[in-house]
Amino acid sequence: MKKIGFIGLGIMGKPMAKNLLKAGYSLTVYDINSAAASEVAGCGAAKAETIADVVKNSDVILTMLPNSPHVKEVVLGNGGILENASEGQIFVDMSSIDPTVSKELAAALAKKGIKMLDAPVSGGEPKAVDGTLSFMVGGDEDVFNEVKGILGFMGASVVLVGEVGSGNVTKLANQIIVALNIAAVSEAMVFVKKAGVDPEKVYKAIRGGLAGSTVMDAKVPLALERNFKPGFRIELHIKDLQNALDTGGAVNMPLPMTAQVMQILQALKALGKEKNDHGDIIEYFEKLGDITIA
């Protein structure tokens, strides 16, 4: 069984790492938050003091980090993965980042014989906890087949979509759809409340029809409870939509609806709500309608 290194133990990474331990893998972990690494070590992982220690004790190195600059620093920075890895090791970046950065990192690692996949995930904290994430993977098929089983202990769906970078393009498409879906559901629920109809009853009436969605089922009950504890923070969705807009610009693809939802998210950030769950988009529409759905 391959030895695994795991770098990045935040809201998503920590439960993902724990699921690998439950599967019986030998795991070495690192995070700048020492307490997070200690918590996972308490479940059976080896706690590394440096990234170099992770790399030297792993066949497969996984990262789950906030954004492109963080991944670049971990891979290309002093004491990072590139400096310490050796030929034949596999690097799988599960972060959601700019696809062009994924390609840049893969090219740099390839010069040293290190194989890379970009494998961002969808599903948020609940699915990270129960091991039912969806993995969108870019890279060589043979490399994918080597690690598909590992990813399968963290996700219910593991799909190879193309070459390196394709995983993050797919994730950006996912994030566009999720953001627009939350916005549409939010606007509709505030609309029915303003029109004098019970949003909870409307939700129950339409959730089984064509308008129903995973997003609706995940976010409407929480909005009715006024529970905006983050499963996926607004500030992270802003990051993803910015990467989508940047990529759209690079390939000459206008994204007008994405840009509109980005402005909604930026408005919520200006109100100090960037740490809230992205389901808090509904508060934007509630302010427009001067009403809450609860």
CATH number for 249: 1.10.1040.10
C-alpha to C-alpha distance for 161 and 136, rounded to whole angstroms: 7
Q: Is the residue at 294 inside a domain?
A: no
pLDDT number for residue 165: 97
Decide which of 142, 163, 184 is a domain's last residue.
163
Q: Is the residue at 232 inside a domain?
A: yes
Q: What is the mean pLDDT of residues 222-246?
A: 95
Q: Is the residue at 230 inside a domain?
A: yes
**Are the C-beta atoms of 37 and 30 separated by less than 8 Å?**
yes
Q: What is the mean pLDDT of residues 157-173?
A: 98
Together in a domain, 8 and 116: yes
Q: C-alpha angle 197/271/9, rounded to 5°?
A: 100
C-alpha to C-alpha distance for 237 and 159, rounded to whole angstroms: 22
Together in a domain, 132 and 234: no
Query: 71: domain CATH number?
Result: 3.40.50.720
Q: Is the residue at 140 inside a domain?
A: yes
Interstrand relation of 121-122 and 133-138 (parallel, antiparallel or unpaired): antiparallel
**Are the C-beta atoms of 64 and 12 separated by less than 8 Å?**
yes
Decide which of 163, 181, 203 is a domain's last residue.
163
Question: pLDDT averaged over the chain?
Answer: 97
Q: Is the residue at 77 inside a domain?
A: yes
Which residue in 214, 240, 244, 230 sits closest to 274, CA to CA? 230
How many domains does the chain divide into? 2
Together in a domain, 143 and 121: yes
Q: What is the mean pLDDT of residues 244-255?
A: 96
Together in a domain, 32 and 152: yes
Q: C-alpha angle 250/161/21, rounded to 5°?
A: 115
Together in a domain, 79 and 223: no
Together in a domain, 72 and 99: yes
Q: Catalytic annotation on 171? A: yes
Q: What is the mean pLDDT of residues 153-180?
A: 97
- Answer whether 0.85 is exceeded by the pTM: yes
Could you tell me which residue, 1 or 229, shows the higher pLDDT? 229
Together in a domain, 142 and 196: no
Q: What range defines the domain where residue 191 resides?
A: 169-289
**Are the C-beta atoms of 182 and 281 separated by less than 8 Å?**
yes
Decide which of 163, 188, 221 is a domain's last residue.
163
What is the percentage of the chain residues whose pLDDT exceeds 70?
Answer: 100
In the three-class reduction of DSSP (H, G, I as helix; E, B as strand; rest coil), residue 32 is classed as coil
pLDDT number for residue 223: 97
Q: Is the residue at 92 inside a domain?
A: yes
Together in a domain, 154 and 48: yes
Asked if the model's pLDDT at residue 121 lies above 80, the reply is yes
Asked if the model's pLDDT at residue 71 lies above 80, the reply is yes
What is the percentage of the chain residues whose pLDDT exceeds 90?
Answer: 96
Together in a domain, 249 and 202: yes
Catalytic residue among 72, 103, 115, 171: 171
Q: Is the residue at 39 inside a domain?
A: yes
Together in a domain, 59 and 132: yes
Together in a domain, 25 and 123: yes
pLDDT number for residue 231: 83
Q: Is the residue at 242 inside a domain?
A: yes
Together in a domain, 184 and 151: no
